[in-house]
Amino acid sequence: MAVVKVPIDRVITGHKAVREALRDTQTYSSDLQGDADVRDYRQLPLEVDPPKHHAYRAALAPYFVKPFVEKFAKDFQSNSERLLEEFFSQDGIDVVSGLALPLVMHNLGAFYGRRQDVEEWISWGPDVWTATGKNRDGEVLHAYLDRVYEEAITNPSEDIWSELARLEVDGEVITALEFRGIAGIMLAGGRDTVVKLLTGIVWHLGNSPEDVQWLRSEPESIDRAINEFLRYTTPNTAMARTTVPETGAEELPANRYVSMSFFSGNFDETVFPNPGSIDLKRERNPHLSFGFGPHTCIGNHLAEYEAKIFLQTILDKKIEWLIDPKSEISFYEGQLSSVPKEFTSLYTVKNSGN
Ligand code: HEM
């Protein structure tokens, strides 16, 4: 999910306070223009408040409900098998760029009926805003979105973009700008986040062969394990809200932005005993990795299902690996120094001791 870059004045922390604030859309509004350096339109339904938010959300919900997501089991399975096979049959491949990103893109290609675009999406790297280099830039994404919208209007087919171009919200077909706002987040929201989750799974299991053994012996615990991986990796650490809704406001105070720290909620020791440790057996796991309240991630089932099939496929392969110290991983500081903040690269070596 793209980070909504705005100058933050205040951070809300702690599981209870973050959940309360996320529910209170009157005080903490999502009516804001994020990433103003790279886009001048709203990501939808992300940057709009109820009741309009509800209309967008209702129109998109059918694409993300569990029964729809689970129709793609075979595609996700064959993508996981093929890419894991390729990954473990060669040495020196980076998990982030050589396994997780291609897998997530092939999965989305199947899910959206746009397999022909997968190589192009992979070429952008995990973050679409830095696809052209180090500087943030919306060029690549916007050129793509404008192109597929044009195609969808002039030569409609059965893929996601043609369906979205015809989408009705509150009885009206969406505009080209609304298409950008919806399609942009549907493409960008499930890339770097799922990539971090899958990379975190490979990282942890490489460091803890005993957890691999345990999961192999207790396959019914996979869902619980995925929840803990979601909590521990917190792929989207925070999102912004504004105390002054921006649409039509006469004055916009500079200090209007408040950050909702999902990360602090996920490591709140009053809710998660020993939060700095990965405990795949954790019984209660109300993590905030998908947010909370009306804007709770619409792609949550998709992300969980991709991760579940990926993990199941790993467990079915009788392979053991360790983490190569040449991997570039940054960690949080202080008490959470064992928690990875970012995987720039992750390399594995075969564990010949097993
Ligand atoms: C592990 C993977 C993912 C994580 C951690 C994640 C995280 C989040 C979070 C925290 C929010 C709430 C934002 C807020 O409250 O302001 C959100 C919203 C959203 N996510 Fe995800 N996401 C993931 C995967 C996906 C996927 C796979 C898709 C779609 C392909 C997606 C699409 C969206 C959309 C459209 C929203 C806006 C929902 C709304 O405003 O109602 N996400 N995500």
- For residue 330, is it within any domain? no
Between the CA of 352 and the centroid of ligand 1 the distance, in Å, is 39
Question: What's residue 221's pLDDT?
Answer: 96
Which atom, in ligand 1's list, is nearest to the CA of 108?
30
In a domain, residue 15? The reply is: yes
**Residue pLDDT, tens place only, 298-337:** 999 999 999 999 999 999 998 899 999 999 999 999 999 9
Residue 111 lies in a domain: yes
* pLDDT tens sequence across 232-250: 999 999 999 999 999 999 9
Query: With contact defined as beta carbons under 8 Å apart, do 49 and 297 qualify?
Result: no
Question: How many A from CA of 33 to the centre of ligand 1?
Answer: 17
Give the pLDDT confidence score for residue 353 in this predicted structure.
61
326 Cα to the center of ligand 1, angstroms: 31
Q: Supply the range of the domain harboring residue 34.
A: 10-126+188-318
346 within domain boundaries: no
Q: Which two tokens stand for residue 264?
A: 């602090």
Residue whose CB lies within 8 A of the most ligand 1 atoms, among 297, 298, 302, for a mutation test: 297
Q: Which atom of ligand 1 is nearest to the CA of 47?
A: 40
Interhelix angle 192-207/222-233, nearest 10 degrees: 110
What is the chain's alpha carbon radius of gyration, rounded to the nearest angstrom? 20
**What are the beta bridge partners of residue 169?**
172
Average pLDDT over residues 162-177: 95
pTM for this entry: 0.97
Phi and psi (nearest 5°) for 106? -65, -40
The reported pLDDT for the residue numbered 1 is: 57
Pocket around ligand 1: residues whose beta carbon is below 6 Å from it?
1, 45-46, 57, 185-186, 189-190, 193-194, 197, 235-236, 239, 262, 289-291, 295, 297-299, 302-303
CA pair distance 134, 125, nearest whole angstrom: 11
- 322-348 per-residue burial string, b: 16 or more CB within 10 A, e: under 16: bbbeebeeeebeeeeeebbbebeebbb
Residue 54: inside a domain: yes
C-alpha 193 – ligand 1 centre gap (Å): 9
Q: What is the pLDDT of residues 257-278, one digit of tens each?
A: 999 999 999 999 999 999 999 9
Could you tell me the CA-to-CA distances from 18 to 4, 254, 266, 268, 337 in Å, in that order? 17, 22, 10, 11, 23
* Residue-level pLDDT at 40: 94
CA of 91 to the centre of ligand 1 (A): 33
Closest listed residue to residue 51, CA positions, set 28, 18, 25: 25
**pLDDT recorded at residue 305:** 98
Report the distance separating Cα 288 and Cα 239, nearest Å. Answer: 11
If 0-12 CB within 10 Å is exposed, 13-18 middle and 19+ buried, where does residue 283 land?
exposed
Residue 325 lies in a domain: no
Q: Are 65 and 301 in contact (CB under 8 A)?
A: yes
* Whole-number pLDDT of residue 328: 98
Which residue puts its alpha carbon closest to atom 27 of ligand 1?
Answer: 190
Angle separating helix axes 101-111 and 192-207, nearest 10 degrees: 130
The helix, strand and coil proportions of the chain, stated in percent and rounded to the nearest 5, come to 50, 10, 40
- Per cent of the chain over pLDDT 90 is 92
Instruction: Give the per-residue pLDDT at 266.
Output: 98
Where does residue 171 fall: left (phi above 0), alpha (psi -120 to 50 degrees), or beta otherwise? left
Of all atoms in ligand 1, which is nearest to the CA of residue 45?
40
- Segment 49-59 mean pLDDT: 96
Q: Which atom of ligand 1 is nearest to the CA of 289?
A: 5
170-198: b (≥16 Cβ within 10 Å) or e: eeeebeeebbbbbbbbbbbbbbbbbbbbb
Could you give the number of structural domains in the chain? 1
Looking at the DSSP bridge assignments, the partners of residue 258 are 10, 241
**Ligand 1, atom nearest to 241 Cα:** 16
Ligand 1 center from residue 1 Cα (angstroms): 6
Please report the atom of ligand 1 found closest to the CA of residue 197. 1
pLDDT at position 5 is 80
Cβ-based neighbour number of residue 112 at 10 Å = 20
Close Cβ partners of 207 (under 8 Å, ≥ 6 residues apart):
322, 323
Is 229 within a domain? yes
pLDDT of 31 over the 70 cut: yes
Q: For a pLDDT cut of 70, what percent of the chain falls above it?
A: 98
Which tens digits make up the pLDDT trace of 102-144?
Answer: 999 999 999 999 999 999 999 999 899 999 887 899 999 999 9
Given a cut of 70, whether residue 3 has pLDDT beyond it is no
In a domain, 348, yes or no: no
Give pLDDT, residue 179. Answer: 98
Query: CATH code at 46?
Result: 1.10.630.10
